[in-house]
Amino acid sequence: MTILHDEAIVLHRLDYSETSQVLVLFTPTHGKVRAIGKGIKRGTKSRIAVGIDLLERGTAVFSTRGERSETLATLTEWKPRSAFLGLRERLPRLYAAQYAAQLTAQLTADWDPHPALFEALGDCLLCLAEADEVLGVVVAYQQVLLREIGLQPRFDCCSGCGRSTELTHFSSLEGGLLCRHCEPAHVEKRELTPDALALLRESPCFTPSSPLEPPRAGSPGEAAPAPATPAPGPTLPSAAVRGAFDVLNYHIAHILGREPQLADLLVPPAQRRRLH
């Protein structure tokens, strides 16, 4: 029996019997680990805090029959560090965080460590917990995720001819862009606006008011008036952010073979063409 210590973020949680749960944990040094938390709902275990919630970050100790074991590990200790409570203040934040967690669970393999992706997920959840506009943060995470699993598309030139101008479409099968001359020969493709392309070429960056967010209304240099009350709702993402999300989500849907479940909650289907 091997005892492993690691940080972890809870990606998925499934009830197992009256008091136990099966957890899918994402860790920096052991990758995705499936573990059973026996009796954790009852909260009588002194080394496990009562109730381990989805998207919670903490320090885990689990025993396993050996690294890369196919059987469930057993969670023996859990010390929570952050529950990202800001996520629970607005539905778009909650849906965006669940989308990021779901993609991580679906696109990474068990026991395959991605330390940079773990940090990116932590940063993403931290930003989403304060974000006014969540889609920009999600786009940044989609970019890091695709890079880390080795399926990042190329956004520098045409996949067909290498041309770096008149890039109008994206093809998931080609793994990148298509220029105006090459795109007619391809059935599988997605239109891409210049604004969305410019955004996809930027390095992903996690900030609550993402740099991907369009400038707020007001004259340049003019200080924004301080709101008397908290913002009533989320800021709408720009068309460029929606376009970038659409292309990356389309690519991810191709990799998964199905549309990610929560995509419709982030951008309504009417604003986004579905995967054919």
Where does this chain bind another protein (CB under 8 A)? 12, 17-18, 49, 51, 53-56, 79-83, 85, 87-91, 94-95, 98, 101-102, 261-262, 265
Beta bridge partners of 167: 179
Place of tokens 């492993």: 4
As measured in angstroms, the least distance from the Cβ of 66 to another protein is 28
Q: Which is nearer to another protein, 88 or 254 (CB)?
A: 88
Q: Which is nearer to another protein, 52 or 179 (CB)?
A: 52
Q: Which is nearer to another protein, 205 or 267 (CB)?
A: 267
As measured in angstroms, the least distance from the Cβ of 47 to another protein is 12
Q: What is the largest CA-CA distance in the chain?
A: 66
Token reading at 225: 């008036």
Q: Which is nearer to another protein, 75 or 83 (CB)?
A: 83
Contact 62, 73 (CB under 8 A): yes
Q: Which is nearer to another protein, 44 or 164 (CB)?
A: 44
Q: Which is nearer to another protein, 160 or 234 (CB)?
A: 234
Q: List Cβ neighbours of 170 (8 Å cut-off, separation of 6 or more).
A: 153, 176, 177, 178, 189, 190, 191, 192, 247, 250, 251
As measured in angstroms, the least distance from the Cβ of 256 to another protein is 14
Q: How far is CA 65 from CA 75, 97, 112, 212, in A?
A: 13, 32, 17, 45
Q: Which is nearer to another protein, 108 or 168 (CB)?
A: 108
As measured in angstroms, the least distance from the Cβ of 100 to another protein is 11
Q: Please give the order of strands across the beta sheet that includes 167-171.
A: 154-158, 176-179, 167-171, 190-191
Comparing CA positions, the residue from 230, 236, 256, 243 lying closest to residue 200 is: 243
Handedness of CA 237, 241, 246, 251 (dihedral sign): negative
276 vs 274: CA distance, rounded Å: 6
As measured in angstroms, the least distance from the Cβ of 53 to another protein is 5
As measured in angstroms, the least distance from the Cβ of 146 to another protein is 20
